[in-house]
C-alpha cells in the first residue's frame, strides 16, 4: 500500500480552523458583515421616499451615509413591515444599521492599517538599531501610552473639531504604541539569528534586511493583534460619536444612532422597554461586529502562534 501524502501547511491550517467552532462562528459573522457592507445599496436603497423626481420615483440620495428623514414626526415608530427595525426622529433604524456596517469597516480598516503601519516602522527601527535610538523611541512610546486613550482622543477631537475624520485622526495618533512595542520585542529576539547575521555579513542594506528577513518572521503576532483591535476601534469611535464628538447626527454610524436615540433609551415612565428597538439594533450590530473580530483574532492566533503548536 502506498503511504498517504503528507498534508501541506495550508491543509493543516484549514483542518485546525474547521475543527474550531469559535473560529467558524467568527468567520461566519465577519462574512455576514462583509456581505451586508457590499450589498448595502440593494439591502437598504439610498433614496428618500418623500422626494420624487420628474418620473414620480423616489430621488436617490447625494450622500447615502446621511440617513433620509422619511417622516416629519419626531415620535418613535415601532418595527413594522415597512421599517423592520423601527424609526427614531423620522430616520429608519434599519437603513442606519445597514449603512453603518460600511462606516464600521471604513473606520476599523483605515485606523488599524495606518496605526499598525506607524507602529511597525517605529518598533522596527527601535528594535533593530537599539542603543540611544531605541531609548528615545521607547520613551516617546511610554509617554503616549501613559496618556488615557479615551481622554486624549476627546481632547484632540475637541481641538481638531467634530467629525468622523477627526475621530479617526485621534485614534491613529494614540493607537500605534501597542504594535510598536510588540514588533520591537519580536525583533529583539530575531535580529541575532544566524540568517540575519549572515545578511549583514553579505553587506545587505539594513532596510532590506528588515523588510525581507526580519519582518516576515516577526509580523504575524502584530497582524493578529491588529485584527483583534478592529472591533475595539469601532467601539471607541462609536463612544466618541455618542458623546457628540464623532459622526454628526443623522449619519449612518452606530454610535451616532445611539446618540440621537438617547432621549428614548430609558423609555417612558410606565415602561422602560417601550422604545427598546432604538438601542437594541445598533447596539447588537456593534456587539456582533466586535465578537466577529475577536473570534477571528483568536482563531488566527491559534493557527499562527508557534507557542500554541
Grid cell, residue 143, equals 509617554
**Conformation bin of residue 77: beta by default, left when phi > 0, alpha when psi is -120 to 50:** beta
Q: Is the model's pLDDT at 270 over the cut of 80?
A: no
Distances (CA, A) of 36 to 6, 30, 200: 39, 10, 49
Spell out the domain ranges in the chain: 93-308
Enter the CATH code of domain 93-308: 1.10.3720.10
Per the model's pLDDT, the better-predicted residue between 279 and 32 turns out to be 32
60, β-bridge pairs: 47
DSSP string, the chain: -PPPPPPPHHHHHHHHHHT-HHHHHHHHHHHHHHHHHHTHHHHS--EEEEEE-TTSPEEEPSSTTB--B--S--S-B---SSSTT-EETTEEHHHHHHHHHHHHHHHHHHHHHHHHHHHHHHHHHHHHH-HHHHHHHHHHHHHHHHS-HHHHHHHHHHHH-SSHHHHHHHHHHTSSHHHHHHHHHHHHHHTTSHHHHHHHHTT--HHHIIIIIIGGGTSHHHHHHHHHHHHHHHHHHHHHHHTTSSSPTTBS-HHHHHHHTGGGTT--SS-TTTTHHHHHHHHHHHHHHHHHHHHHHHHHHHHH-GGG-
As a whole number of angstroms, the distance between CA 169 and CA 134 comes to 25
Return the ∠ at Cα 238 (arms to 236 and 244), rounded to 5°. Answer: 110
CA 287/CA 231 separation, integer angstroms: 9
Q: Judge whether residue 64 has pLDDT over 80.
A: yes
**Mean pLDDT, all residues of the chain:** 82
**Confidence band of 58 (pLDDT split at 50, 70, 90):** low
**pLDDT tens-digit map of 208-257:** 888 888 888 888 888 888 888 888 888 888 888 887 777 887 888 888 88
- 8 A C-beta contact, residue 179 and residue 123: yes
- 16-20, 57-61, 286-290: range with highest mean pLDDT: 286-290
Which residues, including other chains, have CB under 8 Å from residue 49's CB and lie 6 or more apart?
Answer: 58, 68, 70
Share of the chain above pLDDT 90, in %: 22
Comparison of pLDDT for 99 and 276, the residue scoring more: 99
| pLDDT greater at residue 146 or residue 3 | 146
Amino acid at each position: 500500500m502506498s503511504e498517504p501524502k503528507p498534508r501541506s501547511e495550508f491543509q493543516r491550517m484549514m483542518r485546525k480552523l474547521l475543527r474550531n467552532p469559535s473560529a467558524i462562528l467568527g468567520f461566519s459573522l465577519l462574512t455576514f458583515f462583509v456581505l451586508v457592507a457590499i450589498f448595502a445599496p440593494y439591502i437598504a436603497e439610498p433614496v428618500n421616499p418623500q422626494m420624487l423626481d420628474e418620473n414620480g420615483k423616489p430621488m436617490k440620495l447625494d450622500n447615502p451615509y446621511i440617513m433620509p428623514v422619511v417622516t416629519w414626526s419626531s415620535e418613535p415608530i415601532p418595527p413594522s413591515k415597512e421599517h423592520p427595525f423601527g424609526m427614531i426622529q423620522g430616520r429608519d433604524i434599519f437603513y442606519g444599521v445597514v449603512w453603518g456596517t460600511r462606516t464600521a469597516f471604513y473606520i476599523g480598516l483605515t485606523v488599524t492599517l495606518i496605526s499598525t503601519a506607524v507602529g511597525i516602522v517605529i518598533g522596527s527601527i527601535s528594535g533593530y538599531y537599539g542603543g540611544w535610538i531605541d531609548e528615545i523611541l521607547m520613551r516617546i512610546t511610554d509617554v503616549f501610552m501613559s496618556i488615557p486613550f479615551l481622554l486624549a482622543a476627546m481632547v484632540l477631537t475637541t481641538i481638531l473639531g467634530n467629525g468622523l475624520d477627526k475621530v479617526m485622526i485621534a485614534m491613529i495618533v494614540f493607537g500605534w504604541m501597542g504594535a510598536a512595542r510588540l514588533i520591537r520585542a519580536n525583533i529583539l529576539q530575531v535580529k541575532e539569528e544566524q540568517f540575519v547575521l549572515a545578511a549583514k555579513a553579505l553587506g545587505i542594506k539594513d532596510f532590506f534586511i528588515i523588510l525581507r528577513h526580519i519582518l516576515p518572521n516577526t509580523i504575524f503576532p502584530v497582524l493578529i493583534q491588529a485584527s483583534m483591535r478592529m472591533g475595539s476601534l469601532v467601539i471607541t469611535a462609536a463612544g466618541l460619536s455618542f458623546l457628540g464628538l464623532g459622526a454628526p447626527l443623522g449619519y449612518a454610524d452606530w454610535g451616532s444612532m445611539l446618540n440621537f436615540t438617547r432621549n428614548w433609551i430609558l423609555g417612558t415612565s410606565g415602561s422602560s422597554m417601550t422604545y427598546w428597538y432604538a438601542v437594541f439594533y445598533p447596539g447588537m450590530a456593534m456587539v456582533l461586529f466586535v465578537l466577529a473580530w475577536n473570534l477571528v483574532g483568536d482563531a488566527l492566533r491559534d493557527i499562527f502562534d508557534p507557542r500554541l503548536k
